[in-house]
Amino acid sequence: MNSSFRPVLAAVASFLVVGFLVAADTAIVVAPAGSGGAEALTLAPDLSFTNDSSGNFPIRGQNLDDGKIASDRPTAIFFGTSHCWNTNREAERFVALYPKARQTARFLVVDLDHPSPDQKVLVSRFYRGSIPTLTFLDPAGKVVYNDAGETSGRRGDTTRLEELLARAKVGGR
C-alpha cells in the first residue's frame, strides 16, 4: 500500500467508527421480549385537574427511567411535566389504561424535566414541544400515533387510548 494513503485511510476509519458510535447513541433502545417498562403506575398525590398548580410529576411507579421500546408487543409512551392540568388529565387516562393492558403492552413514562439517557432518545425522536404527548408504537417499532393534547374531553375516558393500543397491536391497521 502506498504510504501516502495511510493518513487518508486512518481518517476514513476514524470517521466511520465515530459515525457508528453517534448512530448507536441516537438509536432507540429495544428491550428483550417479555414484560418490563414502567410498572405499578399510579397518580401522584395532590394533582389539580383544573389549573397548573400541581408541582408533582403526575405519574408515580417503578422503573420510570426505562426508555426501551418493546420488541414483542406495542409500546405506549407518555411525555409530560409537572404544573400542567392537561398533562394531569391525560396522565389519569394513561394510568387507568395501564391495568387493562400491562400484560400485552409496554408502558414508558417520560418526565421531560428529568429524562434518563435512553429516554432522551425517545424525546428527540417523538416529542415536538407540546404536553402532554403520547406515542404508540406497534411491535415492530413503527409509529401508530404520535400527537400532543388530550385524547378525550372527559376525565378518565380511556376509549381513545384503548383504540390506539388496539391499532398498535395489529401494526397500525
- Would you call the peptide bond into 132 cis, given omega within 30 degrees of 0 as the criterion? yes
Mean pLDDT of 158-163: 97
Report pLDDT digits (tens) over 115-146.
999 999 999 999 999 999 999 999 999 999 99
Domain limits of the chain? Answer: 39-169
Q: How far apart are CA 15 and CA 4, in angstroms?
A: 18
| Per-residue cell: 11 | 481518517
The answer, yes or no, to whether residue 93 has pLDDT greater than 50, is: yes
Q: How far apart are CA 160 and CA 129, in angstroms?
A: 22
Count the neighbouring beta carbons within 10 Å of the beta carbon of residue 78.
26
CATH class of domain segment(s) 39-169 = alpha beta
Q: Which of 23, 17, 149, 8 minimizes the C-alpha distance to 78?
A: 149
pTM of the model: 0.84
**Do 108 and 75 form a contact (C-beta atoms < 8 A)?**
yes
